[in-house]
Amino acid sequence: MDWSRTKSIMIAILLVCDLVLGGVWLKERHDENRDIAAANAAAVSYAENHGVSVNCDIPSASKRVYVLSLSFEEGEGPGKTEYRNIPIEVLGSGEREHLSEIKKKGSKIEVLPAYSAVLKSVSNRGFSIDSIELIYLVDRSAYSGQGGQDTALPYWKIRAGSNYYYYAAYSD
């Protein structure tokens, strides 16, 4: 058997496959980004028509993230503050406990696009959106100081002046 010729044919086939797959993938990415950009623009327009001004760029990249399992220890400590460049925000904890360990939980979940948070914020008339970012949020108000484990889910955090608003970034 002429292995050299066989290898050449396989290289040609794989090359064609990769080009097709790569092309399809790139096109999908392009279409997705275009759709998100269009949706973002429509959301900004809708928000401004309802008295909410948007003074920042709305993140357009789609993402999939893990839900996090967090471990807290009582007392002050150097606590972790982010996971894979996504900030972790712990509400109601104060200095009575600190975040000691982060583990991913289950499989990745789809993150809702940022414009969904903009649309939900329309109910607050008269304010302006100064920034919007993806964070992990956990509310420890009812449990703070006791230590233990908790779960952090992705949220869109919107800053409007000195106020902050949190909207779930997942759809169940």
89 touches another protein (CB under 8 A): no
141 touches another protein (CB under 8 A): no
Which of 100, 147, 159, 166 is close enough to bind another protein by CB under 8 A? 147
11 touches another protein (CB under 8 A): yes
21 touches another protein (CB under 8 A): yes
**Residue 80 forms beta bridges with which residues?**
none
61 touches another protein (CB under 8 A): no
50/134 Cα distance (integer angstroms): 24
Classify residue 19 as left (phi > 0), alpha (psi -120 to 50) or beta: alpha
Task: Name residues whose C-beta falls within 8 Å of residue 137's C-beta, 6 or more positions apart in sequence.
Answer: 88, 89, 91, 152, 153, 154, 155, 157, 166
Residues within the interface to another protein (CB under 8 A)? 4, 7-8, 10-11, 14-15, 17-18, 21-22, 24-25, 28, 64, 67, 69, 74, 105-110, 138, 143, 146-151, 153, 170, 172
